[in-house]
Structure 1
Amino acid sequence: MTKTAAVQLSDLPTSFALEKYDACASFSIADWHNNLMQRALRRNTAADYRDHHIDELKRAANDCLQNPIFPARELQEGDGFEKNVFRSQIRDQTAFELLTGGSTLAADDERARAYRDAFTVMDREMHGEAKYDQEASHAYETLDVPAWTMLNDIGINMSGAVTVNVDLFASDDKLVDDFKAWLRVTRRALNIPSIQRRFTRADFDRWQQNKVLAFLDLSFWADINGLRLTNQILGVALFPEEYTIALADRIRKVVAPLALAASSPVYIEALLSQALEEAEQK
């Protein structure tokens, strides 16, 4: 969509008002999860179905500026954004998952050809006439990679969920060290950000103070209406009482990265799992 000239402060909808976001100061983790997820769902719908649902998306953008706080809802295990999320984010592979084999390699997907061909060769080696030739050696090398490498190569969205083998005969100390090392390598390879600790009130206060929800709502309103909203105008709209800092830089360096991270699938599903954990402990 081609965007028009930059929006001026006076062009912002009259329904937008910062005081409507004051409730964020007392948000629980469940409130943050629900409100961030609603923004992410709306953004994903726009990314995938903008042309088909443009009128509904414009109404949603206006409605969110009018009533930006989504009411609390009961969270349940199995809810999720991209996948089912549970209180514990380490779970056993089920017998069904093992026997059904998880993801399949579509016959018409060219990206999976190398893995399909390699498996055909190895199946022959194991259940037919074993040749132990160069073709078999190459096939073994192709398949001797983490399953998540293959799934990532062929474009399957794993939503951060991978299966790993754990040797329970090892000591606790050794297992913890090995897991931390594996976690670093795997997240880096899959380009998944590392959340080092549980979310705390300090995180929520930072989101509230930096007007994360208001930023997401104004940005979405401008985008879905084909308008260009500069960082300077965003800065003035979100921080009208601040004059001693470079507002455009604050939006670019702090607010935008913070808001986009908080509304990402990684954060949303981590928030949900922690909220389920905290609810269980009450």
Structure 2
Amino acid sequence: MAKVSRLEDLPDWFDLREYESCVSFNAFDWLIVLKDRASILELISKGDNVDANDLAERARKDPTDCFRFDWQTPESPVRPLSFGDIAFKSGIAVLAGSASSSKAEQWIGTLNMISTGNWLSASLNKEAIENRSDHSRSLSVNLLANDSVLMDAFNAWLKDARSQQDAVSKRELPAYKSWASYGLLPYLDLFIWMELTENRISYQLMSEAVGYRKGGDSFRKTVPKLRIEIAQHLAELEALASIEECAERLTA
């Protein structure tokens, strides 16, 4: 195990200028880059350093993933209920044996009827939206997201639903805007490098390397915690990304 004691001793691939675009990142941008790092960290935790190193090298070539093409904004944890949701839930009930034989036959029949055409993706709210006298809506809620994120997601959905009748106001920016100043992404890449090479960097030197301006002790109390809680942040970012996309549509 080697201890890195100078900025000059950091790996050749590390260049803080490559991370400058993080300043303008939205929730979707953070979701993409943090998912990449979470995958690498998971491989390391399983002892698969070969695959982890391959993914890490790819991330280092384009640390902010500015050439992304195939990512789509994730679904909101609060969204209109679709026939596909019912099909999925009913299929699970049949496979798990929680439905009686008669109920299972009914579910299978229902699945067969709605599995053709565009029924699976069709919203149960379509007729309610078209019929202005019907003011009810059906929603799907992902309880893996925490209460705060669900409330934001519901507010975004509500604004979208209300926009079909009323004007919608802008929402406040989420708190992740501070992550660029924390140096979160360059820190994650250096942390992954340490895990793969068994090198060690002090918190003070790490704070200098990633551009964290409040010193090593403050860095130690703030940034590593974000890495430890990365799975939770990913779930929240998925919700926030969908909320932002909805807000952008409404203000366009």
* TM range, smaller chain: 0.5 to 0.7
- In structure 2, how many angstroms separate the alpha carbons of the residues matched to 1:74 and 1:63? 16
- The Cα RMSD (Å) is 3.6
1:8-157 to structure 2, matched below 5 A, reads 8-9=5-6, 10-48=8-46, 50-51=47-48, 54-71=49-66, 72-73=68-69, 75-76=71-72, 85-90=74-79, 92=81, 93-101=85-93, 104=96
- Could you list the per-position Cα deviations for residues 178-218 of structure 1 after superposition, in whole angstroms to 9, with x for gaps in the alignment? xxxxx9xxx8xx89685474795462430111111111111
Counterpart position of 2:157: none
Which amino acid in 2 is paired with 1:232?
Q
- In structure 1, how many angstroms separate the alpha carbons of the residues matched to 2:147 and 2:202? 27
- In structure 2, how many angstroms separate the alpha carbons of the residues matched to 1:221 and 1:103? 43
Gaps of at least 5 residues in structure 2 are: 101-140, 154-170
Which of 243, 246, 249 aligns to 1:277? It is 246
Counterpart position of 1:239: 211
- In structure 2, how many angstroms separate the alpha carbons of the residues matched to 1:197 and 1:100? 29
Q: 1:239 to 1:28 in 2, by over 3 A?
A: closer
Query: Retained in 1: the 8 A contact 2:4–2:199?
Result: yes
- Could you list the per-position Cα deviations for residues 136-164 of structure 1 after superposition, in whole angstroms to 9, with x for gaps in the alignment? xxxxxxxxxxxxxxxxxxxxxxxxxxxxx
- Name the SS of the counterpart of 2:201 in structure 1: coil
- Could you list the per-position Cα deviations for residues 19-53 of structure 1 after superposition, in whole angstroms to 9, with x for gaps in the alignment? 111111122332222122222222223323x33xx
- In structure 1, how many angstroms separate the alpha carbons of the residues matched to 2:221 and 2:152? 22
More strand by share: 2
Q: Is the aligned partner of 1:208 residue 2:204?
A: no
Query: Retained in 2: the 8 A contact 1:25–1:205?
Result: yes
- In structure 2, how many angstroms separate the alpha carbons of the residues matched to 1:267 and 1:75? 17
Q: 1:58 to 1:192 in 2, by over 3 A?
A: same
Q: Is the aligned partner of 1:221 residue 2:193?
A: yes
- Could you list the per-position Cα deviations for residues 204-233 of structure 1 after superposition, in whole angstroms to 9, with x for gaps in the alignment? 430111111111111111112222333222
Counterpart position of 1:248: 216
- Could you list the per-position Cα deviations for residues 87-130 of structure 1 after superposition, in whole angstroms to 9, with x for gaps in the alignment? 3525545144135318849xxxxxxxxxxxxx9xxx9xxxxxxx
Q: 1:15 to 1:99 in 2, by over 3 A?
A: closer
Counterpart position of 1:7: 4
Which of 240, 254, 257 aligns to 2:225? It is 257
Q: 1:96 to 1:18 in 2, by over 3 A?
A: closer
- In structure 2, how many angstroms separate the alpha carbons of the residues matched to 1:216 and 1:200? 27
TM-score by length of 1: 0.53
Which amino acid in 2 is paired with 1:252?
R
95-104 vs 212-221, which moves further: 95-104
TM-score by length of 2: 0.58
Query: Retained in 1: the 8 A contact 2:186–2:210?
Result: yes
- In structure 1, how many angstroms separate the alpha carbons of the residues matched to 2:14 and 2:89? 47
14-23 vs 37-46, which moves further: 37-46
- Name the SS of the counterpart of 1:228 in structure 2: strand
- In structure 1, how many angstroms separate the alpha carbons of the residues matched to 2:249 and 2:218? 38
- In structure 2, how many angstroms separate the alpha carbons of the residues matched to 1:257 and 1:55? 26
Q: 1:70 to 1:249 in 2, by over 3 A?
A: same
Q: 1:44 to 1:36 in 2, by over 3 A?
A: same
Gaps of at least 5 residues in structure 1 are: 78-84, 106-118, 124-182
Q: 1:200 to 1:45 in 2, by over 3 A?
A: farther
Identity of aligned residues (%): 23
